[in-house]
Structure 1
């Protein structure tokens, strides 16, 4: 029978709850820090900071005096997905405001950060980077020299067997070389007791796991972790509801604005229609007036046509008579035996032609004036 006592450290509720599968392991992480009391904690792979912030909060709450280092490029990978700078910026802002005195974020590759840590100095190493078999093995083996005599190494996602995850495969190998135990909830968490100087409580858990008596402990931390995940889900749902309410209010304001604009446009359209109707009536009246006037002018012209035809016939007769008379005068002048010059003959003809022109003007003027509207 395993001897395991409950601790208030298991009930730590994170202040910040990023959406993450790691939330289910926070009760164990808090209890682990209480039991191990590490001085230097290094996390390889942080993403949005669920585990990193929980470790910082536990260090602060338990007054451990430990330093917590988060190492990541914050660019993502094929398993976590790739993302922009916004995740790093948000986490950095929160870390600086709450845990600047006990933690640091190092934006480096894991191998680049090695030179900043002394050999044998890391008490707790959290491996949560790229999850392929080769990557996990490289992370552990390259950092192994940095581990202290009481070092504990935890491997996240030890139960995931899809999308090229290889943590489970490496865990099956490395867990046989050291005392260890594994949680199977929330994607799995393998706990490897690498250092020779381990607290008795951790050794008891490893022994219970080797005897097949670890299920009860796994269930306990699974239940505690579910409470945190439920709180995170409630907060996420509430956040979604708040965002939905904000969106509804925004849409209501937009609807009111559009209705007001539509009403204003309707009034303007009505006014425009009224103006167009008046203009249409005016144009119709003007058109009818012009049509009436044109009809009257056409009727007047049409009534003058018989007189015009008669006048033209009379004019034609008079012009022919005048030309015949003028021709007779000229013939008479040409054959006269009187000694008269051509000039005197023309002078005698001109008054007669002028008289013919006067009669022609008198005949034409009344019709021309009526035709032209004068």
Structure 2
């Protein structure tokens, strides 16, 4: 029989719901803040802030005297994907407006942030950076000296076995060295009780895991997490519908504009046709007159050419005939008998 304490904090609904697999673990995160009452929460790898904002909200709602730190370059990696500055800018804006007094975003690499934390000061460490075996091991080992005697370490994506993810492998090694338990929903979350001063509620969960009785607890938190994921999905659908309605409105406005333009164009075209049609008779009359003038001009030109040709022929005849007559006379003289020439006949 598991003596597991239930709490209203398990039902915390996030005010902001970034799309993330971590949404399924928010009920446990809220309850963890209640049972641990941490003074310092450090997150290695934040991305769009689903877990970071959940911790901030839990700390604020439960009035816990804690600071929440998000350490990330906000550039992405081979597992989370690479992205621009807009992810950081959006999260920073929300954090400053809602949780500036209890949280801090540290834009740097994990090892660069070590100097800003005293040894033995971190009560909750969330490891969610690059998910290779080597990276996860380095994150835990380099930050281990910063952990407090009450420290709880969370390893996200402990059930993912693809694309070079190695959290599962490191978890299988480290989980046997400390009291621990693992949630298998939404990519998995390993919970490692590193500090010696642990709340009884967490030790009970670790004992249930050792006794093979953790499945019911896993299903319980999975059901709570699904509720949050369903709400997030509904919000995304509603956002998509709102965007679709906006696009429909824009398209309707564009259609109305084009219809008005078409009607205006049609009216202008009809008006133009009417003007042209009204001018057709005068245009036809002008064309007919022009045609007659062309015909008359061609006739006059033809007559002038005929007259010029006749005059030229007459001139040629007038100049050539006398010469031909003279030549003919001379020829006659040559061919007349000599006695006719002598007699002048």
TM-score range, shorter chain: 0.7 to 0.9
Indicate the RMSD between aligned Cα atoms, in angstroms: 2.4
1:111 aligns with 111
Q: Separation in 1 of the partners of 2:191 and 2:110?
A: 20
Assess, with a 3 A threshold, how the Cα gap between structure 1 residues 162 and 280 changes in structure 2: closer, same or farther: farther
What are the superposed Cα offsets for residues 331-351 of structure 1, whole Å, 9 maximum, x if unpaired? xxxxxxxxxxxxxxxxxxxxx
- Deviation at residue 207 of structure 1 after TM alignment: 0.5
Q: Separation in 1 of the partners of 2:217 and 2:313?
A: 135
1:175 aligns with 175
Which piece of structure 1 moves more, 156-165 or 312-321?
312-321
What are the superposed Cα offsets for residues 313-368 of structure 1, whole Å, 9 maximum, x if unpaired? 77778889999xxxxxxxxxxxxxxxxxxxxxxxxxxxxxxxxxxxxxxxxxxxxx
Which piece of structure 1 moves more, 296-305 or 9-18?
296-305
Q: Separation in 2 of the partners of 1:226 and 1:305?
A: 107
1:14 aligns with 14
What are the superposed Cα offsets for residues 209-266 of structure 1, whole Å, 9 maximum, x if unpaired? 0010001100000000000000000011001001110110011111111111222223
1:341 aligns with none
Q: Separation in 2 of the partners of 1:308 and 1:235?
A: 100
What are the superposed Cα offsets for residues 249-290 of structure 1, whole Å, 9 maximum, x if unpaired? 011111111111222223333344455566776555434322
Assess, with a 3 A threshold, how the Cα gap between structure 1 residues 9 and 310 changes in structure 2: closer, same or farther: closer
**TM-score w.r.t. structure 1 length?**
0.81
- Deviation at residue 306 of structure 1 after TM alignment: 7.0
Which piece of structure 1 moves more, 267-276 or 52-61?
267-276
Q: Separation in 2 of the partners of 1:121 and 1:8?
A: 28
Number of corresponding residues:
323
What are the superposed Cα offsets for residues 160-214 of structure 1, whole Å, 9 maximum, x if unpaired? 0001100000000000000000000000000000000001110010011001000
Q: Separation in 1 of the partners of 2:309 and 2:146?
A: 129
Tell me if structure 1 keeps the 8 A contact 2:14–2:57: yes
Assess, with a 3 A threshold, how the Cα gap between structure 1 residues 105 and 321 changes in structure 2: closer, same or farther: same
Q: Secondary structure at the match of 1:13?
A: coil
Which piece of structure 1 moves more, 274-283 or 124-133?
274-283
Assess, with a 3 A threshold, how the Cα gap between structure 1 residues 304 and 64 changes in structure 2: closer, same or farther: closer
* Max Rg structure: 1
2:295 aligns with 295
**TM-score w.r.t. structure 2 length?**
0.87
Q: Separation in 1 of the partners of 2:310 and 2:127?
A: 123
1:367 aligns with none
1:343 aligns with none
1:89 and 2:93 matched = no
1:61 aligns with 61
Q: Separation in 2 of the partners of 1:18 and 1:97?
A: 16
Q: Secondary structure at the match of 1:178?
A: coil
Q: Name stretches of at least 5 consecutive residues in structure 1 with no aligned partner.
A: 324-374
Assess, with a 3 A threshold, how the Cα gap between structure 1 residues 290 and 41 changes in structure 2: closer, same or farther: same
1:153 and 2:172 matched = no
Q: Separation in 1 of the partners of 2:183 and 2:127?
A: 15
Assess, with a 3 A threshold, how the Cα gap between structure 1 residues 24 and 294 changes in structure 2: closer, same or farther: same
Which piece of structure 1 moves more, 54-63 or 271-280?
271-280
Assess, with a 3 A threshold, how the Cα gap between structure 1 residues 98 and 306 changes in structure 2: closer, same or farther: closer
Q: Secondary structure at the match of 1:104?
A: strand
- Deviation at residue 5 of structure 1 after TM alignment: 2.2
Residue pairs, 1:192-271, within 5 angstroms: 192-271=192-271
Q: Name stretches of at least 5 consecutive residues in structure 2 with no aligned partner.
A: 324-345
Assess, with a 3 A threshold, how the Cα gap between structure 1 residues 79 and 274 changes in structure 2: closer, same or farther: same
Which piece of structure 1 moves more, 141-150 or 272-281?
272-281
Assess, with a 3 A threshold, how the Cα gap between structure 1 residues 223 and 303 changes in structure 2: closer, same or farther: same
